[in-house]
Structure 1
Amino acid sequence: MSGWNIKQCVIWELKDAISRILKYPKEKLNIDEGLGDFGFDSISLAEFADVLSERYELEITPDIFFGYPTIERLSQYFLERYSDEMQFFYQEAVEVSAVTEEIITEVQMDQVKERKRVRYNHARKRVKASTEKEPIAIIGMSGRFPGARNVEELWSILLEGREVIRKLPHERVRLWQDYENTEAGKSVNRKLGVVPGIAEFDPLFFELSPREAETMDPRQRLLLQESWKALEDAGYGSKSFGDEKVGFFVGVEDGDYRLMTGSKSGVTSNNNAVLAARLSYFLNLDGPNMAINTACSSGLVAVHQACQSLRNGECDTAIVAGANLLITSENYNSMEQAGMLSADGKCYAFDKRANGMVPAEAVAV
């Protein structure tokens, strides 16, 4: 053989890692044989991913082994997905082999790799440090919270230490009782944090018909309003975007308004993907757009995804939002039946007095 190419280096690396993890002779590793045939299980696959992540300074997760289950296919994945990284990492090994016109030995390979790894890691750390230090600024915000119609009112509540958990207000009692089909159920005595004015909306401003707005999930309506206010707070107008890519990321779980409207609602009225796309459609925004549901962490994951998108250059500005409303008693009842709710309507986070949670609503952008 006149020399090694990068693919052979990657295959060597994969074989070396497998051999060390499974104590399996390298010469017996068939590159077209499935990883499971070598004796891998879920634990050792996770270790394999960790080893490759450390060696290449990349974020490798075990799920890729299911899509690329052989050494051959896995090497191809690295060459295609991380072409520049592999080129840089193995360049010296290829150069040495090309000059000597000899088969590179494992000892030589180890020496070359070690020298290369030191320089490669140093370079990556430099690049990583330079990108991670790039600041991301919050330039505008808006929201509606229990007892607060805006961020300033929320700040006053926090500053004064006021409690806003209360019994369900009259207009919401009617909604819950309509859903439960009762005249005077226990809804009246339930305690939660309630957002004011969920029925307030100017459909014509957003070029929607009043009839369509009536069947829309109130989270869609409030998100449109609060997103617009957040953009205004940031100094943006509807004509400000130009060629700028603006992404929209909203953390949101499945809503319950569809239980009230039934067949009256249209295809888009209670769809979470549409919920995230309403503002982008209205303003013709050019950037990534997604609704994210990871249960309780949805809002935080939306923030994380937005930061990643900004750092990756997928958007120039990101709008991040979270929305939760309890339009019917459905979710409240489910939490109650599961024993999740506080018996006295008090929430003591990270406290030995904690005896359950208290549901609350919010729309934040």
Structure 2
Amino acid sequence: MTEEDMARAIWQAGVDAVGGYAATAAALEDMPRPDRILAVGKAAASMARAALDHFGPVPCLVVTKDGHGADLPGTAQLIEASHPVPDARSLAGGRALRQAVEAMDAGSHLLLLVSGGASSLAEDLVEGKTLDDLAALNRAMLAEGLDITAMNARRRQISRIKGGGLLAAFKGARADVLAISDVPGDDLMVIGSGIGARPANPAFRGAAKIIASNAIARAAAAARARELGLAVLGEEEALHDDLFVLAGQIGPRLCALPAGVLVLGGEPTVVLPPDPGRGGRNQGLALALAREIAGQENLCVVVGGTDGTDGPTEAAGGIVTGQTWGPGAAEALAAADSGSWLERHGALLTTGPTGTNVMDLLVAVRA
């Protein structure tokens, strides 16, 4: 296997270990049949499929990203919406979730399946706020380069269903929440801006459980590296900063890397220029790292979003080596047009929707 083959295989092993279907199925073994299933987020469809395969026909509503709702049974209601900037369908999805919860009877059992992306995909705004307000807020936060915790705190301020608001409308007896975490610390109040969080002093019983996380993905990637006979030189959650700051920190480390594998996780941020090109934070980080490692031999870096999409693009991220950097790359990086440049040079990581979302994963292999 080449360095690229190994890096791809290790990255994919990390993603496979946190697949929404398998993680949800494993968590349902001792759960009684619910009266209603609600699933929201980028991994909502795979999580809902696992629940429906386990329990059989149950009324089910899925709110997910465009193109992420494949293979659902015809009995499930599907609403696809926009990410990362919400649209009118996001409001329809949020309203449908709230109405479904409000309609449940006393004594009923709700299963709520939550994954990252729910902040944009489903919203029910407080009185006086409009879709234009919501879209403007999201565009501003993306341009400012805020981290996910800060972004979701702002979103909760204008939402009826975030921060425990959705389950506050539940009048049944039991509500169980299974969540795939895409945030540092795996805090339910931050995942999806708290769409699966419990209200203060809930009148219902039930449990909330994190079933997949970046830590699980990193551990699985490291395990696959060892299976390939490679030394694991680091396995860390270390990608929580501006992508250019991270490139400056990680680049020298990669250049000095001996033979082996480095596995890093987290979620970089990026401050966008006024008229950004095509790309996302992972494509930007990949190209910035290509500059740092230019000229290095026998080194390959794969960096991508574990959900299979990076920002408003269809690519997950990038695959770069010491030979990737070249003419025009600096201009593309400055214009936030890394995706276009990487595509022209055969360096995009494209996986399609993965059925999960646990932030981002970087794998560097030195042979």
- Judge same fold: TM > 0.5, yes or no: no
Q: TM-score range by the shorter chain?
A: under 0.3
Answer 1 or 2: which has greater helix percent: 1
Where relative contact order (Cα < 8 A, 6+ residues apart) is larger, the structure is: 2
Q: Which has the larger radius of gyration?
A: 1
Q: TM-score, normalised on structure 1?
A: 0.24
Q: TM-score, normalised on structure 2?
A: 0.24
